[in-house]
Structure 1
Amino acid sequence: MAKNAGGAAEESAVLKPWPKRPARLAHAVVESLTDTIVSGALPPGSTLPVEPELCETFGVSRITVREAVKSLEAKGLVRARQGSGTTVTQPEEWNLLDPVVLAATVQHDDTLVVLDQLVAIRSALEAQMAAQAVELATDEDLQDIERMLSRLDEETATPARFDETDVAFHDRIMQASRNRLGRSIIRTVHTQARTTLLYTGAPDTTGCRQANAEHRKVVERLLARDSEGAAQAMTEHIEAAWRRRRLPSAAPPAP
């Protein structure tokens, strides 16, 4: 096996070929390499295996590999330099709002550092949007939100259904805020966070009832047209829900 100056021969051993050839080849290569980088198997400063080795490992063409490497560069994961190979960058350079990077990051966030940060961002943005919804929500918006709250009351005994409606409930409030950018950011980070048990935990009926009592406080403040109260109620709900789900063995969230 050929080696480049960065020792790519040894590093290529961390890459595993697929048991079944995926349909979207370049995207699949990107997902696999992203996971390898984010997990630390290819640490910052290391060099990606050379092009022929990547082609052999994944069973794809040079064009596919080049497309995948360009995508990794766009995500901030690697930097290609003539004569120096393609080097893994420092985590500070990674684009965590990219769905592929974020998905891999939360999957490997064993200490919950990133998930704690994600919850803090979600809490701040959703609180702001709850306050905006007080000012901008129509009567129809508020009626829809009340109906969803009633539906959640009925689903507390079925955590899986409750969880899906819970997401829709929060999204409906964000819609009522008319804050398209904030909603887009939350939908991106929350969708990826929900792919890991580190974030979702193991929902139970007690947790569902507690969550919906907190939902009710948010809705009460929305109906009262109380911007500050709605923001505070949303913050308290998101942070309390995370404390209930968060693994006790992990480091405590930052104050």
Structure 2
Amino acid sequence: MQLILDRRLGPGSPLPTEAELMEDLGVSRNSVREALKALQALDIVEIRHGYGTYVGQASLTPLVDGLTFRTLARHDDDTGALAEILQVREVLEEGLVRRIAETVTEAELDALEAVVARMEAAVGAERPFPELDREFHELLYASLGNALVPQLLGAFWTVFRRVAGARGWTDDPAPELTVHRHRDIVTALRARDAEAAQQAMAHHFRGIEARTLTR
């Protein structure tokens, strides 16, 4: 890891060969291979068999996998583990939505309205809309220009969906209410009311938590 940092190698950059790493680091071939395997698991390096080893994207995939396992491993308390994940996501989003009230543009609000309209159409057609829900939250924070925000929130989203799917909790018992709560968020943002936007987000998460705890 330090070699990658010292040489300022970016994602996709080729790493030295095994022989070069052995010489540069003063270690055995087995040590180099074990280190590369460990870094591959963390998405810090990417091993392309037959082509070489490259700097990875350092994505949050290891975090997602670890949190999913941690939650599913708590066989006696699935809902408690999911509630913890939701609580962390809720704290992040309630804080972020206050900033959005100051930065979101009318065009971005129109895009959010369009997603809510598609949610309503899905309800009318009796179709689930989890991906629209995710799209809404990703669009919501676009104006922040913070690349880590969608990655982090996406990680929590993916864990929640994986666990819910594994436990058969795929249906939203109140889709109309879910749509309404998303629209409340947009309405508050259009009014540039940060307090109301935060409250709308809190109500949204209260609904998700209530659904989880009744499973």
With the shorter chain as reference, the TM-score category is: 0.5 to 0.7
**Matched AA of 2:119:** L
CA distance in 1, matches of 2:64, 2:111: 30
Alignment of 1:166-205 (within 5 A): 166-197=133-164, 201-204=169-172
- Report the AA paired with residue 202 of structure 1: T
- 1:213 equivalent to 2:188? Answer no
Distance in 1, matches of 2:177 and 2:123, equals 9
Q: Which runs of 5+ in 1 are unaligned?
A: 1-61, 76-94, 249-255
**Match 1:145 to one of 84, 87, 112:** 112
**Paired residue type of 2:70:** T
Contact 1:131 1:228 in 2 (8 A): yes
% same residue: 20
Q: How does 1:106-125 map to 2 (within 5 A)?
A: 106-110=71-75, 111-112=77-78, 113-125=80-92
Amino acid at match of 2:69: A
Offset, 1:215? 1.0
**Cα offset, 1:162, TM superposition:** 1.4
5+ long unaligned stretches in structure 2: 1-29, 44-59
Which structure carries more helix by proportion?
A: 2
Find runs of 4+ consecutive structure 1 residues off by over 6 angstroms: 72-75
C-alpha change, 1:241 and 1:208, in structure 2 (3 Å) is: same
Return the letter of the residue paired with 1:144. Answer: A
Give the structure-1-normalised TM-score. 0.56
Amino acid at match of 1:243: A
What is aligned with 1:18? none
Matched, 1:99 2:64: yes
Q: Does 1:163 find its partner at 2:130? A: yes
If asked which structure has higher relative contact order (CA below 8 Å, sep 6+), I would say 2
Aligned length: 167
| C-alpha contact 2:93 2:201 (8 A) present in aligned 1 | yes
What's the RMSD between the two structures over aligned residues? 3.2
- Give a deviation string over 1:135-173, Cα, whole Å, max 9, x none: 101111111011111111111145654111111111111
1:97-119 deviation line (CA, Å, top 9, x unaligned): 72221221233233133321110
